[in-house]
Amino acid sequence: SNDDIVEAAVIDSRSLGRRIFAPIAVAGAGIAGCAVLFAIDPNEPGNYPLCPTRSLLGIDCPGCGLMRGTYDLLHGNVAGAVDHNLLIPFLVPIVFVLWLGWLKRAGTGVRPAVTRGQFRWRNRLLLIGLAIMVVFG
């Protein structure tokens, strides 16, 4: 029923080029960042700025582990990536699938309607994901 709709479908009337610019730019920035990370080892001191958590508390933050794990993943060392940050095997596919959904919505120009059930489910997943990252951190 119409009462169950939280967000109505939205049609983006901009040109295809304008719609896909943002997801393509984000992909380009991600690829450029990965190229830099592939070339410059974060495990060697002095290659990147010092992490505030590391300098204040003497421990690596999850971001440091994510950077080192991504470096390992880019070099084909999956075990090393997981050792640096246990969330990597979950984060990489989730980020990729979310980006593909963004690209699809940008390509079609249609953001589908969201029902109350989908809205609740989406919010629960976001809160659970946030709680996992906070506890992990």
User: What angle is formed at CA 86 by the lines to CA 84 and CA 90, rounded to 5 degrees?
Assistant: 130
pLDDT digit string (tens) for 36-74? 999 999 989 889 988 888 889 888 788 888 999 999 999
**Who wins on pLDDT, 116 or 100?**
100
**Who wins on pLDDT, 76 or 6?**
76
**Who wins on pLDDT, 133 or 108?**
108
Instruction: Specify the pLDDT at position 2.
Output: 56
Q: Where are the alpha helices (DSSP H) in 10-115?
A: 16-39, 52-57, 62-74, 78-84, 88-108
Instruction: Specify the pLDDT at position 78.
Output: 95
pTM above 0.75, yes or no: yes
Half-sphere exposure of 19 toward its Cβ, with a 13 Å CA cutoff? Answer: 16
